[in-house]
Chains A and B, each alone.
Chain A
Amino acid sequence: MGGIFKRSGNGKRDFGKANLIIFLFALAHALLCYLLHDTSVGDGLFLTILTIAMVFCLIRFYGSPLDVFLGLAFLSCFAGFYFGTSVGDYLHKTFPALGVFNNMIVTFVTTEILGLAIVLVVARKNR
């Protein structure tokens, strides 16, 4: 996590960087969803891998202990799965014309929410 993803010691700036990490992961989630959602492979496995990677990156970014990794990864994956599929199904019924874009939007929003929730847990005051 070197370079721009290294903590600066300034709380606000670090929060901005964490947001950038989350945003990039959210984009990757949405892109993956677009590419794989309608294929026989499906996007579930890869989205889970990306979510776990995001949890790891955020923990490393804030230099927090890895003890909470399992908990956060587990909660994020299952919360993401439930939230994503249930809201995705609802959107499909409401806006059927949008097709896979419904899933992309839900995946993006879900990743952003989960990312911010993880930051709330792992963020530390800078010393």
Chain B
Amino acid sequence: MKRKGNRYVNLLAVGILALIVLAARMIFEYLLPVFSQGSGQSFFFTLKGMLRNYPLTLLMLIGDFMLVRSLVQYFSYGRSFLARTLWELGGVLFIAFVAAILMQLTSSEYLVGDTLNQQLFFSFFVALFFNILVTVVIDLFSYLRWKRRRELATEVRLRSQANYQYQLLKAQLNPHFLFNSLNVLGYLIHEDQDRASDYVKKLSDLYRYQLSMESRQTVILEDELDFVMLYVGLIKERFGEALDVRIDVESRWLRSRIVPCSIQILIENAVKHNIVKISEPLVIEVKVEQEYLVVSNRINLKIESGEHSVGVGLENIDKQYRILFNSPIIVDDSDGFFTVKIPLFI
């Protein structure tokens, strides 16, 4: 309903602007020659005189440039077109008015009464046409620059999304994970067939979820946490009590939106880089703090992993948040803890 209303307002505004252009064109073609004959002045002669006054011309150009700059700063293209156009028109009228007065003040002729008024009026018209032309040209160049920047941003966004989807796809086919899962499954088939069957079901659910996430940019936290529980259930078969994932999220946050597989990637990273032993268990906490989902673990790096690496996965999650929500994730590795804070969006 609001969009429909906006459309009518826009159409009305376009109609008014079209009338303004039409009126300007008519004044220029029909009224200006009549006025010119009456006052004995010519449009081009006055324009030439104005442009020969270099300080005045420079002042007008600076004024026009500043006007467009301010408009770009305060009214982004495509946001409030009517307000922007009205300010633009108002600005040009003001610049033309000041220019006409300055022209008369710097003129060598001493005029009074009607002649002064007529000349002032004529100078105003000439300055108005000149300034509209200059402002419009600067504005169009500015628009082209904005358009190019926006297209570039779109390109970057699409590439980043494609890259993230590629990473997700790679994660689905992660041979290490599959190899470990099959080893665990082989062990379970001999030891406990019910657990083996449960394990296969969890594995298939996990892959089903990952496949269904391929084309989605965000998911609700509830679904993501279900997926995390599946994943944790699978890797716990391998690590047992050595891995403890504690999830503590209030139900009011479950409808928040999150980038798919982001928590799972963080848990996978923690397991990959830290020691996971019965004697040195890895505890991963997942909770919500001030509209952020916090995933943290004590840093206890494996010897072969060297210094703690941020990793491609984390970088990709960060890019997705910057693109989709214009908000980065927060990574902190102080006080012996590695903490990642993911913003939640309702």
Cβ of B29 and Cβ of A44 under 8 Å apart?
yes
Most buried by B among A45, A68, A75, A121: A68
Q: Flag whether A49 is at the interface (Cβ < 8 A).
A: yes
Question: How far is B75's CA from A45's CA once the two chains are assembled, in angstroms?
Answer: 32
Residue-wise interface mask of B (130-147) relative to A, using a CB-CB cutoff of 8 A (1 in contact, 0 not) = 001101110110011001
Of the candidates A45, A64, A75, the one whose C-beta lies within 8 Å of that of B137 is A75
A45-B26 contact, Cβ under 8 Å, with A67-B85, A68-B139: yes
Are B14's CB and A67's CB within 8 A?
no
Point out the residues of chain B lying under 8 angstroms from A13, CB to CB: none
Main secondary structure of the interface of B (DSSP, over half): helix
A106 is an interface residue with CB less than 8 A from chain B: no
Decide: A127 near B154, CB < 8 A? Known: A65-B77, A74-B132, A81-B29: yes
Count of A residues near B, CB < 8 Å? 25
Looking at the assembled complex, report how far the CB atom of A96 sits from the nearest CB atom of chain B, in whole angstroms.
24
When distances are taken between beta carbons in the complex, the residues of chain A under 8 Å from B85 are 67, 69-70
In the complex, which residues of chain A have a beta carbon less than 8 angstroms from the beta carbon of B18? 49, 52, 56, 73
Contact A121 B140 (CB under 8 A): yes
Q: A44-B29, A66-B14, A67-B81 are in contact. Are A74 and B154 (CB under 8 A)?
A: no
Given A52-B22, A66-B14, A124-B147 in contact, is the A72-B29 Cβ separation under 8 Å?
Answer: no
Interface residues on B, range: 20 to 34
Within 8 A of B (CB), among A62-113: 64-75, 77-78, 81
A125 touches B25 (CB 8 A): no
Q: Is the CB of B77 within 8 A of A67?
A: yes
Q: Which B6-44 residues have C-beta < 8 A from chain A?
A: 10, 13-14, 17-18, 20-22, 24-26, 28-29
- Closest Cβ of chain A to B21, distance in Å, is 5
Interface presence of A19 (CB below 8 A): no
Q: Is the CB of A49 within 8 A of B17?
A: no
How far apart are the CA atoms of A78 and B129 in the complex, in Å? 10
Chain B residues whose C-beta falls within 8 Å of the C-beta of A78 in the assembled complex: 25, 28, 133
- The answer to whether B136 and A49 touch across the interface, beta carbons within 8 angstroms, is no
- How many Cβ-Cβ contacts under 8 Å join chain A to chain B? 85
Q: Contact between B21 and A73 (Cβ–Cβ < 8 Å)? A: yes
A124 touches B137 (CB 8 A): no
Q: Mark B65-82, 1 if CB is under 8 A from A, else 0.
A: 000000000010110010
Minimal Cβ-Cβ distance residue in B for A125: B151
Which residues of A lie under 8 Å from residue B24 when comparing CB positions? 74, 77
Q: Which of B20, B133, B144 contacts A70 (CB 8 A)?
A: B20
A68 touches B151 (CB 8 A): no
- With beta carbons under 8 angstroms apart, the residue of A77, A121, A127 that contacts B143 is A121
Q: Are B81 and A77 in contact (CB under 8 A)?
A: no
Chain B nearest CB from A124 CB (Å) reads 7
Question: Distance in Å from the Cβ of B20 to the closest Cβ of chain A?
Answer: 7
Question: B residues within 8 A CB of A72?
Answer: 140
Q: In the docked arrangement, what's the CA distance between A49 and B341, Å?
A: 57
Indicate whether B224 reaches chain A with its CB closer than 8 angstroms: no
The one of B10, B21, B147 in contact with A77, judged by C-beta atoms closer than 8 angstroms, is B21
CA distance A10 to B158 in the complex (A): 17
Q: Is the CB of A56 within 8 A of B154?
A: no
Q: Chain A: which residue is nearest B71 at the CB level? A: A67
Give the chain B neighbours of A74 by CB distance below 8 A.
Answer: 21, 24, 132-133, 136
Residue B64 at the chain A interface, CB threshold 8 Å: no
Question: In the docked arrangement, what's the CA distance between A75 and B135, Å?
Answer: 11
> Closest approach, in angstroms, between the C-beta of A50 and any C-beta of chain B?
11
In Å, the complex CA distance between A56 and B139 comes to 17
Which residue of B10, B20, B25, B137 has the most chain A CB atoms within 10 A of its CB atom?
A: B25
By a beta-carbon cutoff of 8 Å, the part of chain A in contact with chain B is 44-45, 48-49, 52, 56, 64-75, 77-78, 81, 121, 124-125, 127
Show 21 residue pairs from A and B whose CB-CB distance is below 8 angstroms, ordered by the A residue: A44-B29, A48-B21, A48-B26, A49-B22, A52-B22, A66-B10, A67-B81, A67-B139, A67-B143, A68-B140, A68-B143, A69-B17, A70-B17, A70-B21, A70-B89, A71-B143, A74-B132, A75-B136, A77-B24, A81-B29, A121-B143
Please give 17 more A-B residue pairs, beta carbons under 8 A apart, in addition to A48-B25, A65-B77, A70-B88.
A49-B18, A52-B21, A56-B14, A66-B13, A67-B139, A68-B140, A69-B81, A70-B17, A70-B20, A71-B140, A71-B143, A73-B18, A75-B133, A81-B25, A81-B28, A121-B140, A127-B158
